[in-house]
Structure 1
């Protein structure tokens, strides 16, 4: 608490400008529900005699020019408005040559326009999920994020930083394949969206006690929003599949032999699913795999060798040498055989010529494709017949697809022209494909099933996965690129066309869904509402799982809900009932499986979510005891409640109550709160509310989950923050000013234990207040004298 008193003095001094090249940066960051701010300070011309120091109005945020990273005070909070208030309410100090005889203090202010928590966006890594163990050692990291922030950085590291890969894709990117294989270890994935030159925050130029502006002052502001997950890569393999399935070429016959045959596995793969690996052979032994083609054509495949340099993989056709690769590890590489004829036998043989057994001591083969149609090979479906037409038909193109050797590309067409590609597939089963378009908004790539439009993408779109269930019987699939522009078109792309017949064994899909609707009030602000879904147990455990509402405003994963806020309950209910919710297993992968369900809350009103009101301590209270009374009021018809005490400044829970009956209105035997800003909140739970209805999820063929459990409930919460510290001093009474010779005298009764600050300004309505002096109170009358030539027009005394 501060008490201020004013009086007028008539005097002026001459302000002398200073020069010091000082650069100040203030950076705001957001992660999940928390926000942080930190400062940077540098100086030159001249270099500081000691160090320069900058401090926020309350002194909690500070930085010195010595470059010591530990000198920054990091302030973590889930209350962004409060954090921004701390930065913009009052004067920052810039102390030149701190703690030196030449030290001089300057003051400046920070202001912000159109800056709110919504500015940051909410990035989220959706694959891998937190705590998961994956067998793919070269996974594709997938995420969502705020594309309005211009820079994006992604990083994957092992816990000991022995493995490190990073990239800076455009902020529109939503996936990134780790460029090198990852050894078995624990890892973290990190994404950071940022704007390094954010213009909606600014400062005034620092001025000293004489009102002189500091020359050479520069400043910069940044915002960042980031997310991370921890996961592990393990060599635990899934149940083996056939060699044809592992190689995505079950339309070819496969045999294997040698001292040990090849086998399917999921640890080392190109496509992240499965691949064939040579058998474990001893010194001067070999392992081979072969196939025989029934027609003329060409073959594509990916290979990898992880062994001693003297070991090698040999390729033969009809027993004749074709090519060879040394045993050192080079990662996955593509290869193509152009001139195969009906009856040719292609064999891959791994030879072990070294007893040391470096690496996996094996060769690997994946994604074998054979056919006599280059366009069919380009879309990875050579087992089907493909046709193309229009003004300019589709054609194969190498090295465009992000996951493949080649891709199919539409022709260039004129105004109102089109280019199409088509095939026929016998259903039932699951079709998936990747498509991409790099054109203006008026051009589109349209997918038709049996003559009816089933989906389209328009404008510039990065590679996206599309999955659907095909009905029984022949199904005609057509992709048509349409140019609605008045000029020549851009191009569209198609790749990774896969089909899984319904006769294939499908895993059991299970899920336990939790859905809660919350009323949340923070401090004295208006309450907002959230819809928070998440999963408990689910199967298959090796899959990823995600749930999203119809407009994807609400969503969650295992034990994680996306943050969302609605200004009123009606908006929250409207999103729940807007349309079908979707459960995704392995979203945006060739194995994607979806189920949809509906949510309704026909009887839910604000009366079902009554407020919780904390009565002690109160919001923004200062001088609070470390062991205050914790009291509140709330609904008595809920099933239970819990109370929480959190260290707002340093992070971490101080104490958490057990489950209390809904009739409780106080919390006793609470841990002692530290002398910092603390957050206290109380949450009521209604687990018996029956007014939320959730239907049983069904897939595209109206099949239900193998096992489905769902729970829904209501919760109401209030959060406040308060400061533990000494008692606030009483106000002071300033005695009438007097002239003491050539000086001005200011007298008032001080208070023991309080600190008194004498400040001055030249303009009462809008002027900046500068410090004149300060001293500890001792309970006696104190007299402060100032030169009559001082430039002040007004003085005040602050006690705290």
Structure 2
């Protein structure tokens, strides 16, 4: 379906025979709600029927359709208030649907769905309510139809209600996580997200966005919506963050790697420096290139091992599009180390095949990429008997505040450890004792 849905039900496919023609009544208000003004598609209108209803009186039924056609029904209400109705549909699951649209969102049922109740709070303002029964191209069953009954609109303010829940998500480390539920209800409305039952600081928008996720972001997410009339909690969204096989081959799962889609670097275990696996450039024709890269936040220190086997084709390394070094011909594993400047820095390795022929394995390899960002520390201070320091953290690392009582010693004692998440985190010693105490922040890989 082209439109996302708040709700989806799966029902067994049931063959439907042709419906008998029964007397019809043109007044949709009598069938649905006489206090509302109704319009319907003129070519394929909804009509009042008496054979299939929820209230045992009358209901509105869509027009009978051919493949690729639709039949709509509309009314308008002024919020705040609550819209409620009963609906059902009888159609092929893959080729037909009944949709309800309001607030820029769409609720959908399909297949063989019996009478179901829907209740949605609406904020202040004018709202167009639309029900559409449609059949997709390529399939046709005589007698398919949709029904609507007992539409009620109750004016007044309402507490929040989630009409679209946050969805379970699986994604590769380094990508952006977006959880986008939708809560209807009276405004103003506030939101607070929770991760594994703990409040997420700063996550107070209706949609949760985490630009780069890593394995420590796997877990359960919920959001609480509040307004002056009540509070409601969303369903739990289970998020699974998986490591990129290419990142694992490079020993750098904390980094997000990109490679040329038409000639990608691939993880392999036949040739490596660490005896496990490494990344290898793609097989190339003459005058083609295969690139791999990542982005880091400087300052920091980068090191890696690389190797090439060719007739003279080169494997190069660049920082922010400025070439730093290259190797060509037959070069066994060599290590390189670079100081990375402050700021967002693009790192790229490119294997280029020229047109002079082939020799060796015609490939480049990369392994054991290590990037250690320098801790960015601000505000070390002693206030009201408590020592504190703020650290700009990076995902994939842990930051440990340690102390000792003498600079002559080597016995650093860990006080607190926080995982890096790309934000400014505070590390503190709540009760420093002794005439002197010395502190340091140590980085470790997660």
- Given the two structures, how large is their TM-score scaled by the length of structure 1? 0.17
Larger CA Rg, structure 1 vs 2: 1
Q: Which structure shows the bigger proportion of residues in strand conformation?
A: 2
- Given the two structures, how large is their TM-score scaled by the length of structure 2? 0.30
